[in-house]
Chains A and B, each alone.
Chain A
Amino acid sequence: MKLEIIPWIILFLPMLAAAGITLFTLKSRDQSARLSIGAIVLGFVLSVFFIAVNGWGPLKMESVASWLEVGPLQVDFGLRLDPLSLLMLLIVTGVGGAIHIYSYGYMHDDPGAPRYFAGLSLFTFSMLGIVLANNFLQMFIFWELVGLSSYLLIGFWFERPSAADASKKAFLTNRLGDFGFLLGILLIWDTFGALNFSAIQVELIRNPQALGALATVVGLLVFCGAMGKSAQFPLHVWLPDAMEGPTPVSALIHAATMVAAGVYMLCRVFFLLDASGSNALEVIAWIGGITALLAALIAVQQNDIKRILAYSTLSQLGYMVLAVGVASPTPAMYHLTTHAFFKALLFLGAGSVIHALHHEQDIWKMGALKNKMPVTFWTFLLATLALCGVPPLSGFFSKDEIIAAALNPEHGSVWLFLLTVGVALLTTFYMARLVLVAFFGSAKSHEAGHAHESPKVMTVPLLALALPSAAGGFLGIAHLYGKQLGQAHADYHVLAMAVSVGAVIFSFAFAWGLYWNAERDPLPEKIGALARAMRDRFYFDELYEATVIKLQEIAAAMADWFDQWIIAGLAVRGIHGTTELFGRALRLVQTGNLQTYAFLFVLSVALLLFFVL
């Protein structure tokens, strides 16, 4: 067997699993789970095998199959294998595999479990498609497929109106971003006449001015796609609502992989964003920074455990986007990788807690879970520390690189640096709040008093994810990304390190003082209106309700009026009415009486003769 067939198998295994489940095993929960889990675990094993045999080296395998030919447009269906995609392959199948197994325990009692696993497999297929795509069109198609499977999984409990609404919101918001992405792709095709990543890169190196004045526009349009998928301000509103889906879905899609797709894509096409004459990077950096700060502020005053994690995800995604914006894709991908580990772990831990408390998600109704759920607690704590950036856990290294990159004088600035430090402070604060309230103190509800550790099928994935979350900094991940995307700037590391560790200590002490043994949140009394605004998510949903949605409704009403009165009324019914009127008039002539016809016949012959002669 040739080595290069392995990635194809990895890509299509989950699709076969999804098809198999939908076609044959919708009745059987166990068989569906086995198919789905088997596909992704096999994918993981094959990925490891492939990398072990082939190494990280750039096996140039592109355009394996010609797919479409329309006039001058030629689209291949190919896989691109380089350190960037291979590492992502490992993350998606590895983290995804752990989450698949965990789902088996979490969804144990749900009658819709087969449908759930089918959705999960479809998602894995689409995500692998994005990761391996070697051209824009292929990526865009899988990009949309990811949106679709996310829609299906957020709305998994579709009988709940909130879940149905959330899935619709996520899909529409994503589409908005994707529209920009599509425009960007069209513009790129118009300029280069090619959609293949490497072809565009070669062309751009040959002729750096190829994009001319459009460089910034192209960069920003492509960034639109990332803005939707990675939930960047101002399209960030869908991600917190997406927490309506089952918790493993939140862990897989809305923490580890799909939302990371935007950042991955930015790194994949970084050569475009960095093209000469483009100012896109500056905008990207600031959007990332604003998202990070805004989300961290909101997270401080949320009470739903999943929402806190959702805003934390938003904030970390903002970090990554900011890193891309300061021309440091390596730290961005590095943080994406470590974040995938510890954020998936956090979500799975939260899921374990929610499962034990019979779907209670309010942290103020938890408490004292430390001793009742030891595995969940220790893994959750580890992930929290990694997220806060405590050395020597994985998050410390990646975050430190981003903070250092923000100081890089070429692209970064002092303001961006201060922003990242502020976000680091807030991150430690809200995570400390979450852990102190949910796991320490006294049990604040009946369920919390009688909680039990989750079954093995759920705790083992926690332990499996805890390992890379802790040791992610020593695996040489940054070095691997660096080989492809360029090494991170080596300056300022000591300063960044000192500042981030200081932020953790300071912020933790602050949170300790406020939340140790707290029965209620003391913050609203201290900062009043600001806390209320944070709790209400800075009124973004209300703002969109009042502007975008109102506008859309007005436009829809106008379109409806036009359709009813102009198209259906004037055009369609007008033509139909005129014809009918003529018909009715002509029908009067048809008396049915033979002699009338004879008379008219004679009369017309007479008239004819009169005129002719």
Chain B
Amino acid sequence: MTAGLEHYLVVSAILFCLGLLGVILRRNLLIIYMSLELMLNAANLAFVALSRFNNNLDGQIMVFFIITVAAAEVAVGLALIVALYRKRQTAHVEDLTLMKL
């Protein structure tokens, strides 16, 4: 049995849901961040699979964009987390409720 489009998409969906659960449930900012990356990569996988099976390169171009943007985002995001940790001595979301009145 060869792997069809459905297999790729199912894996992608599972990855996305894992990432989502991680974002919602985990408390550590770094882990949440990694989960976010997981969700992005799930999208990448879906793009690549669709590109491959539709014989269209547009999806792959989009993936390059996402990887580039994600790299930049990781640089900024990690810097923010480090700065936050230095200031507050914590990287747990429960302690970051300054937005509330």
Chain B residues positioned under 8 Å from A591 (CB to CB)? 97, 100
Contact partner, A590, options B25, B93, B96, B100, Cβ 8 Å: B100
Task: Give A contacts to B, CB under 8 Å.
Answer: 587, 590-595, 598-599, 602
Contact at B101–A590, with CB atoms within 8 Å?
A: yes
B1 at interface, CB cutoff 8 A? no
Which residue of chain A lies nearest to B25 when distances are taken between CB atoms in the complex? A595
Task: Give B contacts to A, CB under 8 Å.
Answer: 20, 23-25, 93-94, 96-101
Give min CB distance, B96 to chain A, whole Å.
6
In angstroms, Cα B20 to Cα A594, docked, is: 14
In angstroms, Cα B101 to Cα A587, docked, is: 9
Contact at B93–A594, with CB atoms within 8 Å?
A: yes
In angstroms, Cα B93 to Cα A587, docked, is: 20
Contact at B23–A592, with CB atoms within 8 Å?
A: no
> What 7 A-B pairs have minimum CB-CB distances, sorted nearest first?
A592-B100, A592-B97, A594-B93, A599-B24, A592-B99, A598-B23, A595-B24
Chain B residues positioned under 8 Å from A599 (CB to CB)? 24
In angstroms, Cα B20 to Cα A591, docked, is: 20
In angstroms, Cα B101 to Cα A599, docked, is: 20
Chain A residues positioned under 8 Å from B24 (CB to CB)? 595, 598-599, 602
Known: A587-B101, A591-B97, A592-B100. 14 other contacts (CB 8 A): A590-B99, A590-B100, A591-B100, A592-B97, A592-B99, A593-B94, A593-B97, A595-B23, A595-B24, A595-B25, A598-B23, A599-B24, A602-B20, A602-B24
In angstroms, Cα B25 to Cα A590, docked, is: 18
In angstroms, Cα B98 to Cα A59, docked, is: 85
Give min CB distance, A303 to chain B, whole Å.
74
Give min CB distance, A598 to chain B, whole Å.
6
In angstroms, Cα B100 to Cα A592, docked, is: 4
Give min CB distance, A24 to chain B, whole Å.
58
Chain B residues positioned under 8 Å from A594 (CB to CB)? 93, 96
In angstroms, Cα B99 to Cα A602, docked, is: 20
In angstroms, Cα B93 to Cα A502, docked, is: 112
Which residue of chain A lies nearest to B93 when distances are taken between CB atoms in the complex? A594
In angstroms, Cα B24 to Cα A595, docked, is: 5
Which residue of chain B lies nearest to A599 when distances are taken between CB atoms in the complex? B24
Chain B residues positioned under 8 Å from A592 (CB to CB)? 97-100
Which residue of chain A lies nearest to B99 when distances are taken between CB atoms in the complex? A592
Chain B residues positioned under 8 Å from A595 (CB to CB)? 23-25, 93
Report if A593-B101 is in contact (Cβ < 8 Å); known contacts: A598-B24, A599-B24, A602-B20. no
Which residue of chain B lies nearest to A596 when distances are taken between CB atoms in the complex? B24
In angstroms, Cα B19 to Cα A89, docked, is: 100
Chain A residues positioned under 8 Å from B94 (CB to CB)? 593
In angstroms, Cα B100 to Cα A131, docked, is: 73
Give min CB distance, A586 to chain B, whole Å.
11
In angstroms, Cα B101 to Cα A598, docked, is: 19
Chain A residues positioned under 8 Å from B101 (CB to CB)? 587, 590
Which residue of chain A lies nearest to B100 when distances are taken between CB atoms in the complex? A592
Show 24 residue pairs from A and B whose CB-CB distance is below 8 angstroms, ordered by the A residue: A587-B101, A590-B99, A590-B100, A590-B101, A591-B97, A591-B100, A592-B97, A592-B98, A592-B99, A592-B100, A593-B93, A593-B94, A593-B97, A594-B93, A594-B96, A595-B23, A595-B24, A595-B25, A595-B93, A598-B23, A598-B24, A599-B24, A602-B20, A602-B24
In angstroms, Cα B94 to Cα A594, docked, is: 8
